[in-house]
Chains A and B, each alone.
Chain A
Amino acid sequence: MADPTTDPGRTQPQLAAGRRVLGIVPGTPATGTRKEPDRDEMVMVWPHLLVRHAVAALAVLAVVLVLAVLFDAPLREIANPTNTPNPEKAPWYFAALQELLSLFHPQVAGVLVPTAILVGLAALPYIDRNPETSPGRRKVVVATFTIFLVLWVVLTVIGFAFRGPNWDWVWPWVEWHGEL
């Protein structure tokens, strides 16, 4: 190859996008091709997962802190076995059961339903043998679960906020009987 300093044809530098091209080398970039994060790749738990867990923990504790500063835990008058309050409410996470109890025979609402829920939940992986994981390819089981979940949430909200004295219907913005 001729010496570029003496070769008259090469005295003008080649330009590309306003920059002088010194040379063109065949092959892939020396720094490697651009890396797309592969979601199936295994990554180290420290630091990748642990920093995320630390942030999640701080976020949860921040929510607890704010709630604890803003809202005091309830404390009513001292327990009195001779004075039954009306309405007599179970804790909110049993409000759906209490609501069912007002609609069906206690043996159905208080025994059969809770047992069926727990046994059904525990048996779920043995009933649903479809190996698919994406919700779109297991519509029946997703729809069934969603119906029960929505039903449970609705019953909980009704029992918690929409029931007043004698378990009669009240509007929570008119009378408030919910207690956490």
Chain B
Amino acid sequence: MQLMDRFRATAVGRSLFRSPDRVTERDRAAGHWANFLLHIYPVKVHRREIEFRYSWYLGVASAVLFGSLVASGIYLMFFYVPSPASAYGNIQAIQTEVAFGQFVRNVHRWSANLMVIAVAAHMARVFYRGAYKPPREFNWVIGVVLLVLTLLLSFTGYLLPWDQLAYWAVTVGTSMADFVPFIGGTTREMLLGGDQVGSATLLRFYVLHVAVLPAALVAVLAIHLWRWRKDSMLDDGEG
């Protein structure tokens, strides 16, 4: 740490870190406040909020799994074309020819399943803690939106391998939309791009899976975390 402090005192060090020397706690708080990467965190939290039994770290687990999904998903995108003619062959090539392809696909699949579990468990933990009480009511509602987005991301990704499992799971899933009064049939056709799962469906699910839904999730997650940060800085003695 002394070496670090000496480096921070140099001209280069001062230009790198937009923060004063960390002598007092106030300096450290100022350093935290000025740090871009740390801006999603509050500067201070209640001691009880950092304990395992408070949250079981399920929120951060969900976020880490999302990060793992983005990283592995981008790698898979390099080797995948969303068309019925190529999709299945691409997955086979990923599993047999692409470097670490099978492993990366496994990471993506497992992270997706675990993220659904982590998000649901996070919600249950927040419920049992009563952490949805004022002033956090609306952040709970945002959390429900995030749960729906997680399920939609998982479901749209389910179709992409274009195997029997994917095809018929999505056929079953989307057939439920038919029973929604008035808008059901239209919604289903918009989703599928036709009256049954086909090439238009694959392209639509792909675009939803790699662009629309991740962007929506990041945007809503930003609000979720921003509200969490604001609320955890409140010294209300309630947590």
Chain B residue nearest to A49 (CB atoms) is B50
For the complex, give the distance between the alpha carbons of A44 and B162 in Å. Answer: 49
For the complex, give the distance between the alpha carbons of A57 and B28 in Å. Answer: 24
For the complex, give the distance between the alpha carbons of A111 and B197 in Å. Answer: 21
Known A-B contacts A56-B60, A133-B133; A111 and B180 likewise in contact (beta carbons under 8 Å): yes
Q: Which of B57, B114, B161, B238 contacts A64 (CB 8 A)?
A: B114
Whether, in the assembled complex, B84 has its beta carbon less than 8 Å from a beta carbon of chain A, the answer is yes
Q: Which residues of B contact A73 (CB under 8 A)?
A: 105-106, 108-110
Q: How many A-B residue pairs have CB under 8 A?
A: 205
For the complex, give the distance between the alpha carbons of A157 and B184 in Å. Answer: 28
Whether, in the assembled complex, B48 has its beta carbon less than 8 Å from a beta carbon of chain A, the answer is yes
Tell me the count of chain B residues lying within 8 A, CB to CB, of chain A. 88
Q: Which of A40, A71, A131, A138 contacts B48 (CB 8 A)?
A: A40
Q: CB-CB contacts of A63-86 with B at 8 A, as 1s and 0s? A: 111011101111111111101110
Q: CB-CB contacts of B135-160 with A at 8 A, as 1s and 0s? A: 01110110010011001001100100
Known A-B contacts A91-B173, A111-B181; A46 and B165 likewise in contact (beta carbons under 8 Å): no
Known A-B contacts A44-B25, A45-B42; A61 and B164 likewise in contact (beta carbons under 8 Å): no
Task: Report which residue of A39, A68, A80, A133 has the largest number of chain B beta carbons within 10 angstroms of its beta carbon.
Answer: A68
Q: Is the CB of B163 within 8 A of A110?
A: no
For the complex, give the distance between the alpha carbons of A97 and B175 in Å. Answer: 12
Known A-B contacts A125-B133, A142-B128, A145-B127; A63 and B114 likewise in contact (beta carbons under 8 Å): yes
For the complex, give the distance between the alpha carbons of A134 and B238 in Å. Answer: 11
Chain A residue nearest to B50 (CB atoms) is A49
Chain A residue nearest to B174 (CB atoms) is A90
For the complex, give the distance between the alpha carbons of A107 and B177 in Å. Answer: 10
Task: Give the segment of A9-17, A20-28, A116-124, A168-176 that binds chain B.
Answer: A116-124
Q: Which of A83, A90, A121 contacts B164 (CB 8 A)?
A: A83
Q: CB-CB contacts of B100-135 with A at 8 A, as 1s and 0s? A: 001101111111011010100001100111111110
For the complex, give the distance between the alpha carbons of A145 and B129 in Å. Answer: 13
For the complex, give the distance between the alpha carbons of A99 and B58 in Å. Answer: 28
Q: Which residues of B contact A179 (CB under 8 A)?
A: 165
Whether, in the assembled complex, B32 has its beta carbon less than 8 Å from a beta carbon of chain A, the answer is yes
Task: Report which residue of A77, A84, A133 has the largest number of chain B beta carbons within 10 angstroms of its beta carbon.
Answer: A133
Chain B residue nearest to A97 (CB atoms) is B176
Q: Which of B29, B184, B237 contacts A44 (CB 8 A)?
A: B29
Q: How far is the CB of A137 from chain B (nearest CB, A)?
A: 9
Chain A residue nearest to B138 (CB atoms) is A125
For the complex, give the distance between the alpha carbons of A89 and B151 in Å. Answer: 16
- Of residues 52 through 92 on chain B, the ones whose CB sits less than 8 Å from some CB of chain A are 52, 57, 60-61, 64-65, 68, 84, 88, 91-92
Q: Is the CB of B164 within 8 A of A79?
A: yes
Q: Which residues of B contact A180 (CB under 8 A)?
A: 109, 113
For the complex, give the distance between the alpha carbons of A121 and B120 in Å. Answer: 12
Q: CB-CB contacts of A117-157 with B at 8 A, as 1s and 0s? A: 01001101110100111110010001001000100000000
Q: Is the CB of B106 within 8 A of A48?
A: no
Whether, in the assembled complex, B46 has its beta carbon less than 8 Å from a beta carbon of chain A, the answer is yes
Q: Which of B46, B124, B141, B169 contacts A40 (CB 8 A)?
A: B46
Q: Which residues of A contact B65 (CB under 8 A)?
A: 60, 64
The 12 listed contacts between A and B (C-beta, < 8 Å) are A39-B46, A46-B28, A46-B41, A56-B61, A67-B110, A76-B164, A78-B163, A79-B84, A124-B132, A125-B138, A131-B134, A149-B124
